[in-house]
Chains A and B, each alone.
Chain A
Amino acid sequence: MGGAVSDGRLLARALRDPASVRTLDAAGWTDLIQIARAEQLIGTLAARLADQSRPADAARILADAAASIAQQRTAALWEAEMARRVLAPLGLPVVLLKGTAFLAAGLAAGMGRSVGDCDILVPRGALDTVEAALLGAGWEWVKPDPYDDAYYRRWMHELPPLIHRERDRMIDVHHTILPLTTRITPDADALIAASVPLDGRPSALRILSPNDMLCHAAAHLFADGDLAGGMRNLWDVHCLIAQFGVAGLTERAQHHGLWREVARAARLAHALYDTPIPARWRTWNVLDPLYRRRLTARDGWGRRTRSLTRFAFYARSHWLRMPPAMLARHLWIKWRKGKG
């Protein structure tokens, strides 16, 4: 195949430099499509390669992916509208997060992006009202386990997930952007205060300010979770920086206590996707290569690779999310449940 790599870097190169796919042979194309599917970036890839000459099979597979993503987009926007209609009478600010926000606002990060759940942010004091309104309008709990439910309510940054009983779509109601157990506490009130309405209606849904979107993406990537699906999150970061620049980003990230995460996201996006970032941000970091290794841990058959690296990041994600004593208790309870 053209170029020696057949891991996540193959996908990164195609996204960064669409013309580079000219050098791919059939096996390279198969690997690229497989990796893009596994990383949930197939729709993004289809949008990026729309103007490139492609073998007929690849063009057909990508066109199908694009059509499928277009349908997902319709469904995701409809789901946001359903939530808006239920929550509008409460007179609260309701902020769309992540993929749904990118789609609703027509951002570059939304081009071809796959969106599953509907993520919203509301003021913490309004959680009970919002939950009651959703439960009254057809959403239902999906975590029947009392420990999980209690854990979510006490320690997480969101309500236990709710699914709509007719449309079978999940909504995650956030009151902040990181679990309460992490050592970083972003300023949730400031996120809502700086959010922007999508249109002129009084009941309009809102989106975060661009810098807050970047803080959220970086927090999601590096302070919460094991970097599974990280290539897509990092692509979000790339698109947001490319579209909005980085003016005021440092100060905003410092305000939320997320500068280390934002800086790392910017460096890695630059390394993978050639994101335009200020020269003074391009410092060398001893851990960046390990992060890159984790982000691109995928082979041409769509399999996850580098199990040791992945395990290290998995362990790290729990370490970040919980103090040691709490982690021990959590793992003990989960292990006992697993056995039973």
Chain B
Amino acid sequence: MRIGPVGFRIGSDWRAPVAALESLYAAYPKPAISDFTVRLFAARPWRRFLRPSVTIEGDFVLPEAAPLPLAQGLLAAEMGMNLQMALGQRHYLLLHASAVERDGRALLMTGLSGAGKSTLAALLAARGWRLMGDEFVLVDPETGLIHAFPRLVSLKNQAIGVVEAAWPEARFGPLMGGTPKGDIRHMVPDAAAVDAMHVPALPALLLFPGYGFAAENRAVPQSEVFVRLTQASTNYVALGERGFDALTRLVKAVPARAIDYPDTDSAIAQVEALWAAL
């Protein structure tokens, strides 16, 4: 399947994870030649049938990646694809961030796990923004433009109910309980996101959301933005000078703000206000 500009080939010892992917990614084109290969397999032959357990491998692997039960095969596939991007992507500067677009301009949201990147991106998409991605933002070092990578949106724990309520028409994958990150349910990006995924956008605003605090927002100085984004990038070092140039260009061009929010309504209101004030 092709997600944004990147093609993946997924192979599995079992039918189920591939069937789940085929169903959820049905609207995505199939690449002729894949950038990355992900393999889901049984580390021992009997693990195919007896308490089946999915080991993740691919072109790029982390030695300590733990296998998952077959019921979480879809999650394993998504983790495998993320891993290939995180370790193997060398064309775009990769930022661990979500992005939505309006009028050709992109809003980027980055932060630690649990800050609400995915949730806010899904909620904004429900309000008519174009979803560009909830996990990785691709910065083109040549142009400075943001490229979409709209894989399935990974919603965790309370965020699942919040997004289901806000966007009942959206399509969701199976609810997977008891994963290493708690409950996970994937949301399929809407047709607008998939149809326009080859269209890049100019970065316009960068937000560092923080969940669980009283509503507040402050400007973030460029030096801090730079350091936080180097930490949010998986391939900044590997790209060398190209990575440095792409990142400094982004940091200089785009205003950055940290927003704290006690609930999602407050977050959305703050985002819309900041966007309107640009």
Q: Are B39 and A301 in contact (CB under 8 A)?
A: yes
Interface residues of B in 46-88 (CB under 8 A from A): 58-59
Nearest residue (CB) in B for A65 is: B90
Partner of A67, one of B7, B9, B90: B90
Q: Are B59 and A302 in contact (CB under 8 A)?
A: yes
Q: For B11, list chain A residues within 8 Å (CB).
A: 301
Stretch at the interface among A25-33, A112-120, A170-178, A238-246: A25-33
Nearest residue (CB) in A for B235 is: A68
Interface residues of B in 159-210 (CB under 8 A from A): none
Nearest residue (CB) in A for B39 is: A301
Q: Are A30 and B9 in contact (CB under 8 A)?
A: yes
Nearest residue (CB) in A for B58 is: A302
Stretch at the interface among A53-61, A96-104, A206-214, A316-324: A53-61
Q: For A61, list chain B residues within 8 Å (CB).
A: 33, 35
Interface residues of B in 209-253 (CB under 8 A from A): 238-242
Please measure, in the bound complex, the distance between the C-alpha atom of A257 and the C-alpha atom of B90, giving whole angstroms.
43
Nearest residue (CB) in A for B59 is: A37
Please measure, in the bound complex, the distance between the C-alpha atom of A65 and the C-alpha atom of B91, giving whole angstroms.
9
B106 CB to nearest chain A CB (Å): 22
Please measure, in the bound complex, the distance between the C-alpha atom of A33 and the C-alpha atom of B31, giving whole angstroms.
14
Known: A65-B90, A67-B242, A74-B240. A55 touches B59 (CB 8 A): no
Q: Are A30 and B33 in contact (CB under 8 A)?
A: yes
Q: For A47, list chain B residues within 8 Å (CB).
A: none
Q: For B59, list chain A residues within 8 Å (CB).
A: 34, 37-38, 302
Q: For A57, list chain B residues within 8 Å (CB).
A: 7, 31-33, 35
Q: For B90, list chain A residues within 8 Å (CB).
A: 64-65, 67-68
Known: A38-B59, A65-B90. A71 touches B34 (CB 8 A): no
Number of interface residues of A (CB under 8 A): 22
Please measure, in the bound complex, the distance between the C-alpha atom of A74 and the C-alpha atom of B59, giving whole angstroms.
23
Most buried by A among B33, B37, B239, B242: B33
Q: Are B238 and A68 in contact (CB under 8 A)?
A: yes
Please measure, in the bound complex, the distance between the C-alpha atom of A58 and the C-alpha atom of B238, giving whole angstroms.
21
Q: Are A30 and B34 in contact (CB under 8 A)?
A: yes
Known: A71-B240, A74-B240, A75-B240. A60 touches B37 (CB 8 A): no
Please measure, in the bound complex, the distance between the C-alpha atom of A164 and the C-alpha atom of B208, giving whole angstroms.
33
Using a Cβ cutoff of 8 Å, how many contacts connect chains A and B? 47
Chain B interface residue bracket vs A: 10 to 19
Partner of A29, one of B33, B37, B238, B240: B33
Q: For A37, list chain B residues within 8 Å (CB).
A: 59
CB-defined interface of A41-61 with B at 8 Å, one 1/0 digit per residue? 000000000000001011011
Please measure, in the bound complex, the distance between the C-alpha atom of A57 and the C-alpha atom of B33, giving whole angstroms.
6
Q: Does A282 contact B (CB under 8 A)?
A: no
Interface residues of A in 79-130 (CB under 8 A from B): none
Q: For B9, list chain A residues within 8 Å (CB).
A: 30
Please measure, in the bound complex, the distance between the C-alpha atom of A329 and the C-alpha atom of B32, giving whole angstroms.
52
B17 CB to nearest chain A CB (Å): 15
Please measure, in the bound complex, the distance between the C-alpha atom of A75 and the C-alpha atom of B37, giving whole angstroms.
27
Interface residues of A in 227-243 (CB under 8 A from B): none
Q: For A60, list chain B residues within 8 Å (CB).
A: 91
B98 CB to nearest chain A CB (Å): 24
Partner of B37, one of A26, A34, A55, A71: A34
Interface residues of B in 83-102 (CB under 8 A from A): 90-91
Q: For B239, list chain A residues within 8 Å (CB).
A: 71
Q: For B35, list chain A residues within 8 Å (CB).
A: 57, 61
Nearest residue (CB) in A for B92 is: A64
Q: For B7, list chain A residues within 8 Å (CB).
A: 57
Partner of B39, one of A29, A65, A303: A303
A58 CB to nearest chain B CB (Å): 5
Q: For B32, list chain A residues within 8 Å (CB).
A: 26, 29, 55, 57
Q: Are A26 and B240 in contact (CB under 8 A)?
A: no
Nearest residue (CB) in A for B9 is: A30
Please measure, in the bound complex, the distance between the C-alpha atom of A64 and the C-alpha atom of B241, giving whole angstroms.
15
Nearest residue (CB) in A for B240 is: A71
B136 CB to nearest chain A CB (Å): 16
B239 CB to nearest chain A CB (Å): 7
Please measure, in the bound complex, the distance between the C-alpha atom of A60 and the C-alpha atom of B140, giving whole angstroms.
14
Nearest residue (CB) in B for A28 is: B33
Q: For A71, list chain B residues within 8 Å (CB).
A: 238-242
Nearest residue (CB) in A for B11 is: A301
Please measure, in the bound complex, the distance between the C-alpha atom of A33 and the C-alpha atom of B37, giving whole angstroms.
10
CB-defined interface of A188-217 with B at 8 Å, one 1/0 digit per residue? 000000000000000000000000000000
A54 CB to nearest chain B CB (Å): 9
A271 CB to nearest chain B CB (Å): 27
Q: For A29, list chain B residues within 8 Å (CB).
A: 32-33
5 contacts between A and B (CB under 8 A): A29-B32, A34-B59, A65-B90, A71-B238, A71-B241
Pairs A-B, 6 closest by C-beta atoms: A26-B32, A57-B33, A71-B240, A68-B90, A64-B91, A64-B90
Query: Given contacts A38-B59, A68-B90, A302-B37, could you give 12 more A-B pairs where the C-beta distance is less than 8 Å?
Result: A29-B32, A30-B33, A34-B37, A57-B7, A57-B35, A58-B33, A61-B35, A64-B91, A67-B90, A71-B242, A74-B240, A302-B59
